[in-house]
Amino acid sequence: MDAETPNTDEPEVEEPKAGQLNLPQAFLLLATDDKDGEPELPAYILRTTVAGAILAELDVLGAVGLQGKRVRATGPAPQTDFQHQLELIRHKSRPHTPKRWVSMLEGRAEVQRVYEGMASLGIVDHVGEKHLGLFKSVRYPEKDHAPEAAIRHKIKAALEGKPSDARTTALIALLQAAGLLGKLFPAADLTRARELARDYWPSRAVVDELRMIRLAEEEAAMLTDPVRARHPE
């Protein structure tokens, strides 16, 4: 239906804005193909970066922070979609490093929960493909482009040297950790991105965890086929 023609059959819904999205939602929105609803990153990168984005969201809210080398709850519990993760951190008798929390929080179910949250806001569609009567796969094509356009505008402005708020800076750092920033903004000065993301502990934890996953995959490949692992095609 044409955007200028009001729908008189349904109640008017307020248009989502960039500020309404939490960091895991904003990351997944940018990391998903608008049309086919498929992620543009391997599943392990998606899961790991979403876990880092959860830590970043709690950090931006002032709920957690890095004290020494450990993540600790730092303030009163705010309203957040990640109350369960916050309570885990708050009540952990022995605080963990950021990388350890990323490895503990990552998972397919959490990624799907974040997608479903955006579907409930009307930003993406839930499209399920059935096989033998069961859902074999689910895709999330974009339904409303306005939130992504607003996010992209803020990131582009920050990369061009304009002032960047904490949420935008965190998102830039996460996109860079996932290897997606240069693909989304090929003309951007990545030197500026590195300046904005420097020493940001949630994204650094993502980078460290991804490095460990890749090393484990390489070691597994060496064990199964040492010749091919040394000389990949």
pLDDT band at 227 (very low <50, low <70, confident <90, very high): low
pLDDT band at 230 (very low <50, low <70, confident <90, very high): low
Structure confidence at residue 2 (pLDDT): 34
SS3 17: coil
Q: Is 12 or 226 the better-scoring residue by pLDDT?
A: 226
Supply the DSSP string of 25-60, one letter for each residue.
HHHHHHTB-TTT--BSS-HHHHHHHHHHHHHHHHHH
| Res 233 pLDDT > 80 | no
Range of lowest pLDDT (53-67, 186-200, 204-218): 186-200
| Res 122 pLDDT > 90 | yes
Question: Across all residues in the chain, what is the average pLDDT?
Answer: 86
Average pLDDT over residues 186-202: 88
**Closest by alpha carbon to 116, among 17, 10, 14, 25?**
25
| Res 139 pLDDT > 50 | yes
Quickly count helices (H) and strands (E) in the chain.
11, 4
| Res 97 pLDDT > 80 | yes
| Res 41 pLDDT > 50 | yes
pLDDT band at 134 (very low <50, low <70, confident <90, very high): low
pLDDT in tens, 7-23: 444 334 344 455 579 99
Structure confidence at residue 9 (pLDDT): 45
